[in-house]
Amino acid sequence: MKATGIVRRIDELGRVVIPKEIRRTQRIRQGDTLEIFTAADGEVVFKKYSPLVELGHISAIYTEVLAKSLGCTVLVCDRARVVAAAGGGKTDMMDREISTEVEHLLSGRSPYTAPENPAKRLHLFERGERLILCVAPIVAHGDVEGGVLLPGTARDPAPRPETVQAITTAASFLSRWMEE
């Protein structure tokens, strides 16, 4: 682990404040869930918790099936990064942080389809040429937990309605799976 030089006291209720700099760089926001565990050497570790990572195997299978049936790359992300990928270029996209634009789309709780004009499309990652063609949020127990994404490039046409429906259905399936 990297030392930050920041020291905090635990208050009388057992609380500790995570410094703003760490929250910003790790994209930890109010309402996020953290997993707390101890390492073998006695360190106490706070880690962002993602229920979609727990569903990694199911998400991976679902993205494989969807990518094969649609003939394109499909991703599943939590609120911060890609947790499952299938199709062309999946190794380049796996475990990468999504852009703040995609985070904003997910928080809107509605499916998004990119416009026909490539110049008006949003970026999937903060750096790179990958654009987002379609997003369907995964909402479980009233909270946005992530999304099913269809990445593309400026050369790709906007997705067809049946593709958007398939992505939306996948997000709905994963939402129900998480709730059960």
Listed in sequence order, the residues at least 6 apart from 143 whose beta carbon sits closer than 8 Å to its beta carbon are 31
Sheet (strand 112-113) strand order: 82-86, 74-78, 143-152, 131-140, 112-113
Q: Which of the 8 DSSP states describes residue 147? A: E
Ranges of residues in the chain with a pLDDT under 70 are: 1-4, 50-56
List beta partners, residue 152. Answer: 131
Residue 18 is predicted with a pLDDT of 87
Helix, coil or strand: residue 162: helix
- Rounded distance between C-alpha atoms, residue 66 and residue 50, angstroms: 22
DSSP symbols for 83-119: EEEESTTHHHHTTPBPPHHHHHHHHTTS-EE--S-GG
The confidence score (pLDDT) of residue 89 equals 85
How high is the mean pLDDT of the chain? 87
Per-residue pLDDT at 2:
66
Looking at residue 45, what is its pLDDT?
Answer: 84
pLDDT, residue 55, reads 67
